[in-house]
Chain A
């Protein structure tokens, strides 16, 4: 059974700093990995999708990497802003056909102005 872990559960950093969020998964047989952002009481916003054959994806100040063999992904946020404060979730789509995402528990990020 696939398990997804995100550490730390919460992170506070001063505005302007670069930061890295971590995601690990137990079964490397994945089809893709997706990073989401969730604001309090809201739905999820898809940030980046990495296919299993890819090593990284970039969108603006965000860069996500994937090391499938070691079961790890990172989300790099450059030049953090207060508007980046949110909970960040990673989720993996396993490769055994049922096409259901397994979510991590999330990292709650606070950017201090």
Chain B
């Protein structure tokens, strides 16, 4: 059972609002990831982090930003939400290469965001 949590699960907000999607894991994983997925479509990596104070942009350009101040916490922020940001956002984490089961990615339940 994966111990990775996302809040809120569903969010409906108006255009221009600032939002933060929360992601936390209790597995002590050093690597964390944010993916964006439209219904029925592929997952796209938008941000990742290899550890505290490490963040990188993913393969899909995103107007969101992330921070990694604590190992267990990897929040994603949109400064000014727009309808084009409507999507499902999935957070994941993984442990160290070389360990038994290392680099197996575990996913949270996702946040479904709707911007009106």
Contact = CB atoms under 8 A, between A and B. Distances in A.
User: Do A and B assemble together?
Assistant: yes
A46 B88 CA distance: 18
Interface in A15-68: 31-32, 34, 36, 41-46, 49
A43 B43 contact: no
B104 A43 contact: no
A31 B104 contact: no
Given A99-B97, A105-B42, A43 B90 contact: yes
Contacts of B105: 34, 46, 91, 101
Measured as residues with beta carbon below 8 angstroms from the partner, the interface class of chain B is 20 to 34
B112 interface: yes
A46 B43 contact: no
A31 B98 CA distance: 10
Given A31-B97, A99-B97, A100-B45, A44 B103 contact: no
A108 B17 CA distance: 35
A93 interface: yes
Contacts of A42: 109-110
Given A100-B45, A105-B42, A41 B58 contact: no
Interface of A: 31-32, 34, 36, 41-46, 49, 89, 91, 93, 99-101, 103, 105-106
Interface of B: 2, 6, 31, 33, 39, 42-43, 45, 48, 50, 58-59, 88, 90, 92, 94, 97, 101, 103-110, 112
